[in-house]
Amino acid sequence: MADLSALAPRVLCLGEALVDRLGPLGGDPATAAPDSCDDRLGGAPANVACALARLGTPVGLVGRLGEDAIGAAFLKLFKGRGVDVRALQRDASHPSRVVLVRRHANGERVFQGFAGDHILGFADQLLDRGCLEAVWPGLAEQARWLLVGTIPLASMASAGALQWVLAQAKAAGLGLAVDVNWRPTFWNPEADPAAGPTADAMAVIKPVLEQASLIKLAREEALWFFGSDDPAAISADLPQQPDVVVTDGAAPVRWFIAKEAGSMPVFPPAQVIDTTGAGDAFTAGLLHCWDRPVTERLRFASACGALVCGGAGAIDPQPREQDVSTFLKECT
């Protein structure tokens, strides 16, 4: 695979890098024996960055990690994948985040809380604008996309840094891709993991959606935020009328791109070990081949998501472009 580390990033992914602590199938990671849990590096922006790099797209990660074993493991991972880490901050006072993930017997997962902060808060909540100002000019010079989720908006410091980056990206002409990735426990650790957004969260998130040129949502997120799962209706509800893609697990993916609507069955995984990171692989596949015809983009993205379901964790099973091409040929 080509060394991407010397190339200017084409995509900048901003947000959390964390550990997903996968509980035993049907068990509770909060109470299960440590040797029955599976700790996997993850976090949606980190997942997308690693997936893009494995596909061959130059990519950088904007985020903050603790100066701990998790942070060191991520640096090793990013170096191995060729992810640009000039905007990856380290925090000596706050740890990297551990997310507890309950897995059902069918591989579906529920994010149910956190471990490791000792009441201090987590490093990803404290993304520092001043550090970003120092590296941004060189980082964004040849970037095309900025990809963000909504989790940084749940913390005051990171929200301020994100807003600054959004302004810089707009001035530089970068396309803004938003993967909503609604996770209520990041906003309130006591929240029901299946709860929709509160009015306060909606008020913070909606202005970011109103700046996006591409929005990717799961169906339940579309219903929560827009009261509709129709991509064309969602686009029409926003002032800039962005491209919109709505995924729904094994149900067909629907889109409204370049003012054209469509839907397509997704590829079923050959086997389902763990669905964690499938949506992030889909997003990476979509951005990786954005210049291709629309249906080709969606087929490629769907294949990326299906292939990730065949392994544990979000990052290790991510495919290379040749893996996707082989998969698509076998499906025709």
Average pLDDT, integer, range 44-66: 97
Residues 6+ away with beta carbon under 8 Å from 246: 216, 217, 218, 219, 222, 229, 230, 231, 234, 253, 254, 255
pLDDT at 265: 96
Q: Residue 331 has what pLDDT?
A: 87
- Whether pLDDT at 5 is above 90: no
DSSP reduced 3-state for 76: helix
Per the structure block, which two tokens stand in for 197? 């957004």
- Per-residue burial over 184-212, b if 16 or more Cβ lie within 10 Å, else e, is bbbbeeebeeeeebeeebeebbeebbebb
Kindly write down the DSSP assignment for every residue of 164-226, as one continuous string: HHHHHHHHHTPEEEEE----HHHH-TTS-TT----HHHHHHHHHHHTT-SEEEEEHHHHHHHH
Q: Within a domain: residue 1?
A: no
The whole-angstrom distance between residue 185's C-alpha and the CA centroid of its chain comes to: 16
Mean residue pLDDT across the chain: 92
**Exposure string for 111-123, b = 16+ CB within 10 A, e = fewer:** bbbbebbeeebbb
5 located within any domain: no
State pLDDT tens for residues 73-89. 999 999 999 999 999 99
Q: Determine the average pLDDT of the residues in 7-15.
A: 91
- Identify whether the C-beta of residue 95 lies closer than 8 Å to the C-beta of residue 66: yes
The pLDDT score that the predictor gives to residue 289 is: 96
pLDDT tens column, 97-128: 998 887 776 656 677 789 877 778 999 999 99
34 pLDDT band (50/70/90 cuts)?
confident
Is residue 41 within 8 A of residue 75, CB to CB? The reply is no
For residue 304, which of 271, 281, 283 has the smallest C-alpha distance? 281
- pLDDT greater than 70 at residue 291: yes
The whole-angstrom separation of Cα 157 and Cα 332 is 48
- Return the CATH number at 135: 3.40.1190.20
Structure confidence at residue 2 as a pLDDT band (50, 70, 90): low
Q: Domain range spanning residue 270?
A: 11-331
Mean pLDDT for the stretch of residues 36-61: 95
**Confidence (pLDDT) at 251:** 95
- d(C-alpha 299, C-alpha 280), whole Å: 15
Helix 156-172 with 129-139: angle, nearest 10 deg: 20
Please indicate, yes or no, if residue 317 is contained in any of the structural domains. yes
Exposed/middle/buried for residue 260 (C-beta within 10 Å: 0-12, 13-18, 19+): exposed
What are the residues whose beta carbons fall under 8 Å from the beta carbon of 224, sequence distance 6 or more? 182, 196, 197
For residue 2, being part of any structural domain is answered with no
In a domain? residue 6: no
Residue 332 has pLDDT above 80, yes or no: no
Domain assignment present for 3: no
Query: Would you say residue 165 lies in a domain?
Result: yes
Paired sense of beta strands 243-248 and 251-257, if any: antiparallel
pLDDT at 195 over 60: yes
**Are 9 and 18 in contact, with CB atoms under 8 Å apart?**
no
Task: Tell me whether residue 269 is in a domain.
Answer: yes
Percentage of residues of the chain with pLDDT beyond 90: 75
**Of 234 and 271, which is predicted with more confidence?**
234
pLDDT at res. 102? 78
Q: How many domains does the chain have?
A: 1
CA–centroid distance for 301 within its chain: 14
* DSSP 8-state assignment for residue 241: -
Mean pLDDT to the nearest integer, 136-155: 94
Residue 172 banded pLDDT, cuts 50, 70, 90 = very high
Q: How confident is the model at residue 4 (pLDDT cuts 50, 70, 90)?
A: low
Check: CB of residue 59 under 8 Å from CB of residue 52: yes
